[in-house]
C-alpha cells in the first residue's frame, strides 16, 4: 500500500500533534502554582517501581528454565542491575551495566 504525499504529511502531523499534546498536557493540567491531586502524587511515587517490575516480568517471560543454561544469563543480568542500582543509584549505569553483562554472557560465556 502506497501513501500519497498528503496522506504521509497527515500522518506525520497527527503523530507530531499527539506527541506534543502528551508533553504539554501535564503542565497545563497541573501548573506549578497549584498542588497536584493526591492521586497524581501517589502515582508519581508508585509507577516507577511498578514499571520496573513489569519490564522484569516481560524480559523473563520467554526464558527456558528447563533447558541449559536454565536462565542463568538473565538472572545474572537482573542481579547486576539491582546491585549496580543499589550501589550507585544511577538508572543509566544500572541499565547499561546489566545490558552489557547480558550481552557478554549470551555471546561469549553461554554460547
| pLDDT tens column, 36-91 | 999 999 999 999 889 989 988 998 999 999 999 999 999 999 999 999 999 999 98
Helices and strands (DSSP H and E) totals, the chain: 4, 0
Give the residue carrying C-alpha cell 502531523. 13
Coil/strand/helix, residue 64: coil
Question: Could you tell me which residue, 16 or 26, shows the higher pLDDT?
Answer: 16
| pLDDT tens column, 80-89 | 999 999 999 9
Confidence of residue 7 (pLDDT cuts 50, 70, 90): very high
Residue 80 and residue 43: Cα distance in Å, rounded?
Answer: 27
Amino acid at each position: 500500500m502506497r501513501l500519497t504525499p498528503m496522506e504521509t504529511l497527515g500522518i506525520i502531523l497527527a503523530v507530531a500533534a499527539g506527541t506534543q499534546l502528551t508533553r504539554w498536557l501535564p503542565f497545563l493540567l497541573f501548573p506549578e502554582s497549584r498542588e497536584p491531586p493526591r492521586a497524581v502524587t501517589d502515582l508519581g511515587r508508585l509507577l516507577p517501581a511498578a514499571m520496573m517490575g513489569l519490564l522484569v516480568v516481560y524480559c523473563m517471560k520467554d526464558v527456558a528454565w528447563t533447558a541449559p543454561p536454565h536462565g542463568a544469563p538473565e538472572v545474572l543480568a537482573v542481579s547486576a542491575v539491582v546491585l549496580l542500582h543499589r550501589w550507585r543509584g544511577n538508572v543509566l549505569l544500572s541499565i547499561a551495566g546489566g545490558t552489557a553483562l547480558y550481552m557478554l554472557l549470551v555471546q561469549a560465556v553461554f554460547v
